[in-house]
């Protein structure tokens, strides 16, 4: 069974641009979560989607948004990029949204904002 | 207050020896789950082990075991017989079962280096 895939793996953008990252969960998984990882702030939760609905959202500005499609694939978008948005963005999928559901992570997208 | 505290930024261990990575947590929930993940330099997070707050036995998974002390709010990871491939960043995480706090909250991590 294929794991979680994220595209692109690496991305370089300039301040003010916008970016869209994609995540394909493991087949059959319906929940997708997004995390931002930076050296300064560590791993921080962005949002979680289940059945095309955002179920949970972390403490990030409105420039960060996401969506989930009917096939469970998810995208996150960051508008008006800032230097501080440079980070590794990790996507994780799980079977459903129940309390214990092991989250399987993808390899991440490394975003650099110049 | 930090929900997950990992006080060891870096640890060294000799190959084939055991090592304990510390994790303390803070929650007022009765129902929660504790997770350990490994992150090699490639960046991917690999799930290692899970302990539920109501589990009476300490979780074990191969060479990994979790030393769960509920009263002390600690969930230390024990790796037995360390291997060179265990060199990585290790994160402790918690998932609470209350309202909007269902996401994984991670600690700052411990960089483990296994020496030959």
Please give the pLDDT value at position B100: 54
Cβ contact, residue pair A105, B46, below 8 Å: yes
Low-confidence ranges of chain A (pLDDT < 70): 1, 98-99
The three-state secondary structure class of A101 is coil
Task: Indicate if the pLDDT at residue B92 is higher than 90.
Answer: yes
Taking CB atoms and an 8 Å cutoff, what residues of chain A touch B44? Answer: 105-108
Name the residue among A90, A81, A75, A91 with its Cα closest to residue A112. Answer: A81
Taking CB atoms and an 8 Å cutoff, what residues of chain B touch A90? Answer: 43, 45
Q: How far apart are CA B64 and CA B77, in angstroms?
A: 7
Q: How far is CA A1 from the centre of its chain?
A: 21
Average pLDDT on B90-105 reads 80
Q: What is the DSSP letter of A102?
A: P
Q: How far apart are CA A63 and CA A89, in angstroms?
A: 15
Q: How far apart are CA B50 and CA B59, in angstroms?
A: 7
Find, in chain B, the residue whose alpha carbon is nearest to that of A46. Answer: B103
Find, in chain B, the residue whose alpha carbon is nearest to that of A100. Answer: B33
Asked if B88 and B40 touch (Cβ cutoff 8 Å), the reply is yes
- Option in A45, A106, A107 nearest B104 (CB): A45
Query: pLDDT class for B98, splitting at 50, 70, 90?
Result: low
Name the residue among A7, A11, A21, A9 with its Cα closest to residue A114. Answer: A11
Please give the pLDDT value at position B18: 97
Q: How far apart are CA A48 and CA A75, in angstroms?
A: 11
Average pLDDT on B75-99 reads 92
Q: How far apart are CA A26 and CA B58, in angstroms?
A: 29
Query: What confidence tens digit (pLDDT) does each residue in B1-57 have?
Result: 679 999 999 999 999 999 999 999 999 888 899 999 999 998 889 999 999 999 989
Q: What is the mean pLDDT of chain A?
A: 93
Please give the pLDDT value at position B42: 86
């Amino acid at each position: 069974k294929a794991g979680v895939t994220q595209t692109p793996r690496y991305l370089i953008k300039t301040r003010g641009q916008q970016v869209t990252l994609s995540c394909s969960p493991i087949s059959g998984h319906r929940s997708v979560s997004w995390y931002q990882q930076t050296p300064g702030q560590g791993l921080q939760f962005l949002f979680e989607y289940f059945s095309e609905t955002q179920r949970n959202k972390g403490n990030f500005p409105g420039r960060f948004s996401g969506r989930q499609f009917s096939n469970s694939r998810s995208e996150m978008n960051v508008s008006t990029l800032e230097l501080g948005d440079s980070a590794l963005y990790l996507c994780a999928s799980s079977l459903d949204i129940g309390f214990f559901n092991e989250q399987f992570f993808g390899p991440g997208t490394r975003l650099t904002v110049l | 207050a930090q929900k997950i505290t990992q006080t060891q930024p870096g640890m060294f261990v000799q190959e084939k020896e055991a090592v304990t990575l510390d994790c303390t947590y803070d929650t007022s929930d009765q129902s929660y789950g504790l997770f350990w993940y490994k992150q090699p330099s490639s960046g991917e997070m690999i799930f290692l082990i899970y302990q539920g707050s109501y589990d009476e036995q300490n979780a074990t998974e191969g060479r990994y075991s979790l030393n769960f002390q509920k009263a002390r709010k600690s969930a230390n990871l024990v790796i037995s017989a360390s291997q060179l491939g265990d060199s990585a960043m290790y994160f402790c995480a918690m998932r609470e079962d209350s309202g909007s706090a269902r996401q994984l909250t991670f600690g700052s991590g411990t960089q483990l280096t296994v020496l030959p």
